[in-house]
């Protein structure tokens, strides 16, 4: 079975990388696994410090330059770990490339992390919902971040989640919220802990 993981593989924080790695290792027991290397510019740039975006004092320029050096070093370390321990697809930068690549897999699993948090993904939410993409879809511990979302975004969830084979979310509150506003059209919901708590043996990492 060929499985693709769609998550925030570009994120420069330990939680995001640990979740992705734990999920990857567990799923590797089930088949051939790839991290879908989806890197939309808007989201990836959230981790690019803007050093000279406006006139600054000399002290501020020095401080931001040091920050830039730090982030470049951190990015390099994260990239080394990810590419040395997981198999990634080629880099994909837009919705069309993502949709085409998703069709190569027997199953695409979205999550974990805050992949369904509109405050983060904005117009890219539809990509992390794989809206209209013809493939088998499931989510694992996907986070909405918050429960109060607009009617427009709710409509997006209604349309997209009806195409999923299985839906699991990180927050228990999100189950009732999505069930309520999808009017019972989607019943295959579950609450699941983040993948960073699962090991290759099916036990928690803390053991």
What is the chain's mean pLDDT, rounded?
Answer: 82
What mean pLDDT comes out for the span 81-93? Answer: 96
Per-domain residue ranges for the chain? 2-45+82-197
Instruction: Check: CB of residue 110 under 8 Å from CB of residue 130.
Output: yes
Each residue of 18-73: pLDDT tens digit? 999 999 999 999 999 999 999 988 876 765 655 445 556 666 656 655 566 666 78
81-85, 125-129, 190-194, range with the lowest pLDDT: 190-194
DSSP 74-95: HHHHHHHHHHHHS-B---B-SH
Residue closest to 101 by CA, chosen among 160, 38, 167, 11: 38
122 CB contacts (<8 Å, ≥6 apart)? 42
Report how far residue 187's alpha carbon sits from residue 167's, in angstroms, rounded to the nearest whole number: 9
Residue 187 DSSP symbol: -
Greatest mean pLDDT among 9-23, 69-83, 116-130 lies in 116-130
For the chain, the distance separating the N- and C-terminal CA atoms, rounded to the nearest angstrom, is 29
Cross-strand partners of 94: none
Greatest mean pLDDT among 52-61, 104-113, 160-169 lies in 104-113
Percent of the chain at pLDDT > 70 equals 73
Please give the CATH topology (third level) of the domain spanning 2-45+82-197: Rossmann fold (3.40.50)
Greatest mean pLDDT among 52-66, 70-84, 177-191 lies in 70-84
Residue 169 DSSP symbol: E
Report how far residue 89's alpha carbon sits from residue 112's, in angstroms, rounded to the nearest whole number: 18
**Structure-block tokens of residue 106:** 């027997």
**φ and ψ at residue 139, rounded to 5 degrees:** -120, 150
What's the whole-model pTM score? 0.81
């Amino acid at each position: 079975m060929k499985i693709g993981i769609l998550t925030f593989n570009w994120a420069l924080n330990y939680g995001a990388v640990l979740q992705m790695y734990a999920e990857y290792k567990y799923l590797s027991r089930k088949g051939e696994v790839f991290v879908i290397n989806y890197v939309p510019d808007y989201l990836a740039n959230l981790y690019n410090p803007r050093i000279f975006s406006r006139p600054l004092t000399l002290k501020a320029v020095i401080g931001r330059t040091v920050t830039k050096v730090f982030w470049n070093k951190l990015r390099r370390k994260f990239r080394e770990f990810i590419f040395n321990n997981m198999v990634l697809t080629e880099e994909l930068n837009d919705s069309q490339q993502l949709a085409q690549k998703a069709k190569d897999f027997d199953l695409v699993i979205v999550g974990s992390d805050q992949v369904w948090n509109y405050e983060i993904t904005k117009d890219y939410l539809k990509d992390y919902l794989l809206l209209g993409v013809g493939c088998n879809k499931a989510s694992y511990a996907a986070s909405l971040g918050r429960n109060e979302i607009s009617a427009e975004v709710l409509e997006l969830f209604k349309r997209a989640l009806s195409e999923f084979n299985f839906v699991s979310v990180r927050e228990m509150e999100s189950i009732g919220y999505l069930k309520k506003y999808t009017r019972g059209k989607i019943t295959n919901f579950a609450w699941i802990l983040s993948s960073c708590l699962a090991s290759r043996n099916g036990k928690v990492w803390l053991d």
